[in-house]
Structure 1
């Protein structure tokens, strides 16, 4: 009977170790982290995605330290002339905390999809769909109101008749 008690005690100890092991170790390398689209005026501390931008940057959080990233942006329906056409690419080495950001980027007004590939990836690229809209922006956000005058500052809006 004694060997059974020892086997039961051993099994319980192994089970307890397995339950506690994930809490004692960091996440395994690989698909950790997230990438966000940020307006160029947004600080890097924001972890919220901003899918409607003019000038923007790509911001990575929580990846494995020192990972290398290759990214591409494709034109996307409904505004793409050719859906899936690569319009911008780049690469980035993340810092020791798994954070990194690209320089500011710009694209013509339209709909796009970001594909984010990185070292240790298990499966498909991370991705984000977003819109750029620079023509419709005005300070303080929102769309400009239509103008009835096309004058240039410093010039009259109508030519005097002679």
Structure 2
């Protein structure tokens, strides 16, 4: 009885192993592959999924060599397109390692769903829901106003310098021109001596003294003759 029971167990184990092997051989190739949503700045060798992106690409791993892929993206929620409408689509031929990536792409902000179909898939397409959000990547507006002529704080026109009474007056950019020196022969000009007496007056007095001296000398000689 024990021998029969042991034999039955062996037969059952062998049957299960054969069934599993048959099922494995019947599994279509490529179903072990996976696809990821990657930000455009993420290296394609990384196998993480990024469900919130702006500029992005699709990255495939572990599919069969040379497998053909057709993919499309549908609008899903929180955007201006009806749910289920295809907004992007394309196709790929995977390399010898079952890997390939799409070009970078963008979508309006909202929620979308990727559908990834390939040759020999088992059942339905692989799929992923993700969100496009480019609002955080827009540059913040500058608070600094642009400079315009005549704006407050800007210097325009002739610069001014404060006067002694506190008012502003145009600052001199060049020294004032000097008045021309008077000519020696001009009317009204007076040459000055060291003590401040006019030369003209001294000359007149000297001439008068010479005339008086001459007159007195002439008169003396006349008296002596008589």
TM-score for both structures, normalised by structure 2: 0.53
Where relative contact order (Cα < 8 A, 6+ residues apart) is larger, the structure is 1
Aligned to 2:73: 73
Aligned CA distance change for structure 1 residues 19 and 134 (closer, same or farther; 3 Å):
same
Q: Does 1:95 align with 2:95?
A: yes
Following superposition, the deviation at residue 70 of structure 1 comes to 0.3
Unmatched 5+ stretches in structure 2: 152-226
The alpha-carbon deviation at position 131 of structure 1 amounts to: 1.4
Cα 1:21/1:123, change in 2 over 3 Å:
closer
Shift of the alpha carbon at 1:109? 2.1
- Name 1:141's counterpart in structure 2: none
Alpha-carbon distance in structure 2 between the residues aligned to 1:21 and 1:97: 25
Q: Where does the alignment leave 5 or more consecutive residues of structure 1 unmatched?
A: 139-143
User: 1:98 offset after TM fit, Å?
Assistant: 1.0
Query: How far apart in 1 are the matches of 2:74 and 2:20?
Result: 43
C-alpha separation in 2, matches of 1:160 and 1:82: 53
- TM-superposition CA deviations, 1:62-114 (whole Å, max 9, x none): 11221110000111112242111111100001112111111111222222111
What's the CA shift for 1:119? 0.4
Point out the structure with max Rg over C-alpha. 2
- Taking a change above 3 Å as real, the CA distance of residues 80 and 62 of structure 1, as seen in their structure-2 partners, is farther
Matched positions, count? 149
User: How far 1:30 sits from its partner (Å)?
Assistant: 4.0
Aligned equivalents of 2:12, 2:37: Cα separation in 1: 47
Query: Is the Cα contact below 8 Å between 2:74 and 2:114 reproduced in 1?
Result: yes
Q: Is the 8 A contact 1:65 1:97 kept in 2?
A: yes
Segment drifting more, 79-88 vs 34-43: 79-88
Question: Does the C-alpha gap of structure 1 residues 17 and 109 become closer, same or farther in structure 2, counting only changes over 3 Å?
Answer: closer
Structure with the larger helix share: 2
Paired residues of 1:80 and 1:111 also in contact (CA < 8 A): no
SS in 2 for 1:60: strand
* In 2: Cα distance, 1:86 partner to 1:159 partner: 52
Sort the Cα spacing of 1:113 and 1:20 in 2 relative to 1 into closer, same or farther, 3 A. Answer: closer
1: distance between equivalents of 2:96 and 2:80? Answer: 37
Q: 1:159 to 1:121 in 2, by over 3 A?
A: farther
Distance, in Å, in 2 between the alignment partners of 1:136 and 1:159 is 35
- With the length of structure 1 as denominator, give the TM-score of the two structures: 0.72
